[in-house]
Amino acid sequence: MNSTPENAATSGTAAAGARRYDPHASSLVGTAEQAVLDELYAIRGSIDNIDASLVYLLAERFKFTQRVGRLKAEHDLPPSDPGREAAQIQRLQTLAREADLEPEFAAKFLNFIIAEVIRHHQAIADESEPEA
């Protein structure tokens, strides 16, 4: 075992990646007073927590959508479901308005994710297609 904080067993893990992260990484150092930077870092601590949550939430969402993709492939259903997409986008735009988030942004964000999900579903369908 070497004496550095990381070794071969842990250097590639998510935990190791998180340890290498510098929460004070910034191009603004030297351009503002330390007190301003300290406040900026404090606010960024919460942004960091939210971004980490987004990664976990997206990972979980993709786990479920992969299950939908496998179910669709098994039953010869198409990768996309435009009726479901329209209903979901409308619902999230309403939620966005209530939450003071731009509804156009909410729609754009969801469409971006859905496009990736459909790409995964197409790949699952292609993999499970019997050889011609």
- Applying CB under 6 A, which residues contact ligand ISJ? 65, 68, 80-81, 84-85, 88, 113-114, 117-118, 121
Rounded Cα distance between 43 and 105, Å, is 23
**CB nearer to ligand ISJ: pick between 16 and 68:** 68
Rounded Cα distance between 40 and 127, Å, is 48
**CB nearer to ligand ISJ: pick between 19 and 119:** 119
Amino acid found at 92: L
Min separation Cβ 113 and ligand ISJ, Å: 6
**CB nearer to ligand ISJ: pick between 6 and 81:** 81
**CB nearer to ligand ISJ: pick between 56 and 112:** 112
Of residues 129, 114, 124, the one with CA closest to residue 81: 114
Min separation Cβ 128 and ligand ISJ, Å: 16
Min separation Cβ 56 and ligand ISJ, Å: 17
Helix orientation angle between 103-128 and 82-98, rounded to the nearest 10 degrees: 150
Handedness of CA 106, 111, 113, 117 (dihedral sign): positive
Amino acid found at 29: V
Of residues 117, 37, 27, the one with CA closest to residue 80: 117
**CB nearer to ligand ISJ: pick between 26 and 80:** 80
